[in-house]
Structure 1
Amino acid sequence: MPAWYRYVTQRGLQMTDERDKASNDANDFVVRRLVKETGITEGQAIELVGFLGPHNWSSLVREAHLLKKP
């Protein structure tokens, strides 16, 4: 295997790892904010962010409020 291939492969993995970490940080922030502002559990917030993604705040809040209703 040529040296350049190992470098590119390792560099690609590092960039992917950095993107994954940034994505996880964003998700963690949204989960904490959703729990604080709506009163749902952390597990519920994690599940909602998993379904809807961290970038659709209005939908996350709407669904969180639906979960809180008795």
Structure 2
Amino acid sequence: MAREPGNLEAHRVYTEGVSDFADWLATEDQDGIIRLCSMLGALLLARATKDSPLSEEILTAARAALTATA
């Protein structure tokens, strides 16, 4: 696991992968880190509230915010 002491290579590779993914998500209008955190937060909250109307509302709101054009 990347969080375990002594596994610095795994931590470095994971961190680099997260950074690269955030860079890939970036747009001219939105920072990639913000987009990544929004996506993951929305997914976590939607799963935690599954089988309720709130779950779909969370995903819809995140989708709208992340795909909005300025």
Same fold at TM > 0.5 = no
Which structure ranks higher in relative contact order (CA pairs < 8 Å, sequence separation ≥ 6)? Answer: 1
TM-score norm. by structure 1 comes to 0.43
Max radius of gyration: which structure?
Answer: 1
TM-score by length of 2: 0.43
